[in-house]
Structure 1
């Protein structure tokens, strides 16, 4: 039998970050994850990357995993270039304008996960159970009882569901969600370009959806996230490499020169999910289990890490009762408000930049140009991107 104060179901970046933060606060944790333990990433770039804000970087620094992340592979970006292909609108800003060393870092999720596991294994209060599935979850007023498929029981004072967008824990406890299909698929791939990226994160809004070019550690290599209609997605996936390279270069208006795909292309549907209830007794949702949003601003991982940071703060405080109802309701109320704000913002941006209606094109052009030329407003947008 395993016993701990907290059981985390889900060993992705968000779940592992929570586990590490809790054990560093002297709170015992068991992590259950169906996936295999993350091996040291190889020479090829992973397809899943995150644009980590400075707030997320600060969290990883406080947990002593940032040096390991930087030692493996990460790219600081100092410039952002956002433009609308169908109008004259453009925003460009850099870290010097904000008196910062960089705006953020692009990091492969596999590298983040590896660094977190590496640090967690140094702590006796952390029990990591990979390639492990649970069979049943029951709870009493004060405890949660998890039965693994092996039959072994795990007892905890709190269960945290960090098991992703299709959370089985959320479904088991019938926590309702608000759901919206963005009618977009995202294609992810690694692309090499003739021109160096110059530590610039680029995003262009196309009539069919946004294309992000994210700089990687090699100065000529980018991770791309192309959000587009399901029909256009299938067309792009069906292209041979030569035609896909041309399509990518044309979509980016040749900003980085000739493109050469370096990886397989993967695609996944984009959906907004928002749990109407994040707490059920001693079960709580975090990260994608609680909310998923459109990736056009790269906020998904950062939003989940903000859940983690606040939950660590609340659970680390000295209370007579660990993970009291009051504590969990505080977490739910505070983080739901922030998630709602970001979901609404992403929906508004998606709708504004979709299509070729002349009025929309005019609003986009004038709006982006105003932001680019008005210092205080521009800084407000930049700080939002930094996770502040």
Structure 2
């Protein structure tokens, strides 16, 4: 039998970040994850990457994992270029304008996970159980009981569901969600271009959805995320490499020159999920188990890390008993409000930049141009982009 103050189900980046923060605060934690332990990533870039905000970087610095992330693979980006293909609208800003060394970093998710595991393995208060599935979860007024498939029980004061967008724990405890199909699939791939990226994160809004070019550590290599209609996505997946390269270059209006895909192309559907209830008894949702949003602004990982950071702060500073109702309701109320704001913002942007209606094109063009020319408003947009 294992006992811990917190049991976290799910060993993705958000769950592991929470575990590390709690362990460093001298709170005992057990992580249960059905996946294998993350190995050191190979030479090829992973297809799942995140645009880490400065706030996320600061969190990782405080947990002493940022040096390992940078030592493995990370690319700082100093410029952002956002434009609408179908109008004259464009907004661009750079770190010098904001008196910052960079706007953020593009990092493969596998690199983040690897660094977190390395640091967690040095913590006496942390137990990591990979290749491990749970069989049952029950809770009493004061404890949560997790039975592993091996039959071994875990008793904890708090269970955190970090088990992803299709959270089985959320479903087991009948926590309702608001759900919306974005009617978009995201195609991800690694692409090499004739011209260097110059540490610039680019995004172009097409009539069918946004295409993001994210700079990777090699000067001419990008991770792309192309969000588009399912039918168009299917077409892009079936194109020959040569035809796909032409389609990508045309969509980006040749900003980086000739394109050459370097990896397989993988697609996944995009759906908005928002849990209407994040806490039930001693069970709490975090990260994608609580919310998923459209990736057009690259906020998903950062939102989940903000969940982890706030829960670490609350549990580390409690004075009225561990994980009491007041603490958990504070977490739920605060983080739900932030998630709601970002979900609404993403939905509004998606609707505004989707389609080729003349009025929409005019509004987009005028809006982006106005923001690009008005310092205070532009700085506000930039602050949102870097996670302030």
Same fold (TM over 0.5): yes
| Correspondence list, 1:77-226, <5 A | 77-226=77-226
Write out per-residue CA displacement over residues 116-144 of structure 1, whole angstroms, 9 at most, x where no aligned residue.
00000001110000010101000000000
The residue number in structure 1 matching 2:234 is: 234
Corresponding residue of 1:315? 315
- Equivalent-residue separation in structure 1 for 2:28 and 2:382 (angstroms): 38
Query: 1:304 corresponds to which residue?
Result: 304
For residues 336 and 254 of structure 2, the distance between their equivalents in structure 1, rounded to whole angstroms, comes to 40
Q: CA deviation at 1:319?
A: 1.7
2:354 aligned partner: 354
Q: Partner of 2:42 in structure 1? A: 42
Q: Following the alignment from structure 1 to structure 2, what is the Cα–Cα distance between the partners of residues 283 and 320?
A: 18
**How far off is 1:321 after superposition?**
1.0
SS of corresponding position for 1:332: helix
Shift of 1:23: 0.3
**SS in structure 2 at match of 1:124:** coil
- Counterpart of 1:259 in structure 2 is 259
Quick one: structure 1 residues 329 and 318, their matched pair in 2 at CA, closer, same or farther if it must change by over 3 Å? closer
Helix, strand or coil: the match of 1:264?
A: coil
Distance 2:251 2:168 in 1: 38
1:277 & 1:369 partners in 2: Cα distance?
A: 40
**Aligned with 1:156: secondary structure?**
strand
CA distance in 1, matches of 2:219, 2:9: 37
Distance, in Å, in 1 between the alignment partners of 2:230 and 2:42 is 31
5 Å-filtered alignment, 1:284-299, equals 284-299=284-299
- Point out where structure 2 has 5 or more consecutive residues left out of the alignment: none
Which residue of the partner structure matches residue 64 of structure 1?
64
Please give the TM-score of this superposition, normalised by the length of structure 1: 1.00
- In 2, distance between residues paired with 1:273 and 1:243? 34
Equivalent position SS for 2:343: helix
- Equivalent residue of 2:257, what SS? coil
What is the CA deviation profile of residues 191-224 of structure 1, one whole-angstrom value per residue up to 9, with x for unaligned ones? 0000000000000000000000000000100000
How far apart, in 1, do the equivalents of 2:318 and 2:254 lie? Answer: 56
* Separation in 2, partners of 1:39, 1:17: 17
* Stretches of 4+ aligned residues off by more than 3 angstroms: none
Give the equivalent residue in structure 1 for 2:22. 22
Distance in 1 separating the partners of 2:167 and 2:329: 20
User: 1:318, 1:251 → 2: CA distance?
Assistant: 51
| Number of residue pairs matched by the alignment | 388
Give the deviation of 1:51 after TM superposition: 0.1
Say which SS state the counterpart of residue 93 (structure 1) adopts: strand
SS at match of 1:76: strand
Q: Secondary structure at 2:245's aligned position in 1?
A: helix
1-side partners of 2:261 and 2:118: how far apart? 31
RMSD, aligned α-carbons: 0.4
User: 2: CA distance between counterparts of 1:309 and 1:382?
Assistant: 22
Q: CA deviation at 1:247?
A: 0.3
Instruction: Using the TM superposition, give the Cα deviation of residue 318 of structure 1 relative to its aligned residue in structure 2, in angstroms.
Output: 3.3
1:85-133: CA deviation from partner (whole Å, max 9, x where unpaired): 0000000000000000000000000000000000000011100000101
